[in-house]
Chains A and B, each alone.
Chain A
């Protein structure tokens, strides 16, 4: 049944529209405004046109080089996160108990990392991975593997990736678990009678049911890892050197650290456009999938 057309519905949407416009459009306009100007302090601004954008998108300049470095680093990070968290999340979801008291207990433990403030997640791993007072760092060093996340870029990367896996895999697992729960027992029984292998059950029954939630999981994990700020900032502060400086960290450094408003604003706009584009692709795929199913 189609929904009735009713323009009066706009009135119901209006409050949301106003508040989101207030906290999204007004600030974005400020950013656009900054991005075409230059300042020498004292609130004196000069028209700079598309100068900042040209500099930003040209990898040979200082600013452009810095931006592309952070961007590739961030994309590599997001790719690693998806490559680890999605399969692991599916594996955990498939292993979760289907009924009994253990379901509630598992759910509570798994949701726990999701509700820890992001800087505390950073703090936990900052302590846990230290070679002198942290269990992880101490054990790894005892095993004879040199590991120090404040001095060695590789260690820093491993720490941040493992931290993110710890923090967010549960989200993927919980989403998949919710998808799995919607499969009636009769499906499994039928599969057993047909003598289907574990893999066949997964491929033909479980995976199709998880399709939609997986897409959402990938979208959320991509977006959130693409704009990650707090956790690596607490653990490594973007270092050693610039090895873990992701786009958001770089942006905050530019805007609040150096007060390079023009450059920071141009970076913000480009950053936002990338995210908007990716978001749109996902949204289109998702609505297409929904339309196909109906």
Chain B
């Protein structure tokens, strides 16, 4: 058991060290960062964070990102719920091919889609709106949501459906009142993964926005200026992008293992 603890301990140190370094940088002044390598901030400053919270061009980036992430999560789950039910309960013409085709979109490289998405969303007047990014992220999140939800739904015995129909439930009422609550934990896990993949993606989000809906990740490239890199500010912005993820993990920590247990990510 000692060996296991050493392996795990080393791995966790390896994971946390770069993050610690980022936090360390974010609490330093630029003079301190550039002049010498210090293991902890000698002149502790929160100025970098203050800049982000008071400058609208900074904090609006966070709001924009959260907007399209939330929109995408809701869209993906709402669309995927009935489809996942169909895949888990029925056989129909072309079901296997359709399922494979959906999954293959999860694997499609975003770089391929960057330019055509730009043309498409410009053409329909959605360019530079959170909706454009939310729709674009549906490309990989909807298939993912269908995949995860199908796994959870297949775990619900089919007798429940049949009993409900015998009791005179119509399909929509059964689906909303009885079935959806049964797969609530599955929906939680799906929301987590949709949030995750929409939150971390940058290439499409950056390509589809310019000013009004600019995500925080794109704003961060601003710290390169004629006066050199503003390392402290860059680090502070980075730390703030880690926080929403950390919060979400904390809330779903008991479900993560379950989601992974299905082997469907």
Contacts and interface: CB of A to CB of B under 8 A. Distances in A.
A30 B15 contact: no
A175 B263 contact: yes
A112 B246 contact: yes
B19 interface: yes
Interface string A116-133: 111110011101100011
A122 B142 CA distance: 26
Given A95-B4, A135-B17, A135-B37, A13 B87 contact: yes
Nearest to B119: A30
A23 interface: yes
A4 B260 CA distance: 29
Contact of B4 (A94, A170, A226): A94
Contacts of B86: 9-10, 12-13
Nearest to B261: A178
A133 B231 contact: yes
Contact of A112 (B19, B102, B142): B19
B42 interface: no
B160 interface: no
A200 interface: no
Interface of A: 1-10, 12-13, 15-17, 19-20, 22-24, 26-28, 30-31, 88, 91-92, 94-97, 104, 106-120, 123-125, 127-128, 132-136, 138, 166, 169-171, 174-175, 177-179, 181-182, 212-213, 216, 220, 223, 226-227, 229-230, 247-249, 251-252, 255-256, 261, 264, 268, 271-272, 275-276, 279-280, 283, 287
B74 interface: no
A19 B254 contact: no
Give chain A's interface secondary structure class.
Answer: helix
Contact of A104 (B143, B158, B231, B254): B254
B7 A5 contact: no
Contacts of B254: 104
A287 B103 CA distance: 13
Contact of A30 (B116, B158, B258, B265): B116
Contacts of A256: 114-115, 207
A95 B15 contact: no
B119 A6 contact: no
A6 B245 contact: no
Given A30-B119, A31-B112, A124-B238, 20 more contacts: A9-B92, A12-B86, A20-B138, A95-B5, A95-B7, A97-B8, A106-B8, A106-B12, A107-B253, A107-B256, A115-B246, A120-B238, A124-B21, A125-B18, A134-B21, A179-B261, A216-B265, A227-B109, A252-B114, A280-B100
B22 A118 contact: no
A276 B103 CA distance: 10
Contact of B263 (A118, A179, A279): A179
B200 A6 contact: no
Contacts of A2: 91
Given A175-B265, A275-B109, A7 B249 contact: no
Contact of A272 (B11, B109, B119, B202): B109
Nearest to A253: B111
Interface of B: 3-5, 7-8, 11-12, 14-19, 21-22, 25, 33-34, 37, 39, 75, 79-80, 82-83, 85-87, 89-93, 95-96, 98, 100, 102-105, 107-117, 119-120, 135-136, 138-139, 142-143, 146, 158, 196, 199-203, 207, 216-217, 220, 231, 234-235, 238, 241-242, 244-246, 248-250, 253-254, 256-258, 260-265
B7 A109 contact: no
A279 B103 contact: yes
Given A12-B85, A255-B115, A268-B112, A175 B260 contact: yes
A199 to B, nearest CB: 14
B258 to A, nearest CB: 8
A283 to B, nearest CB: 6
Given A108-B249, A108-B250, A166 B14 contact: yes
B231 to A, nearest CB: 7
Contacts of A271: 109, 111-112
A283 B265 CA distance: 14
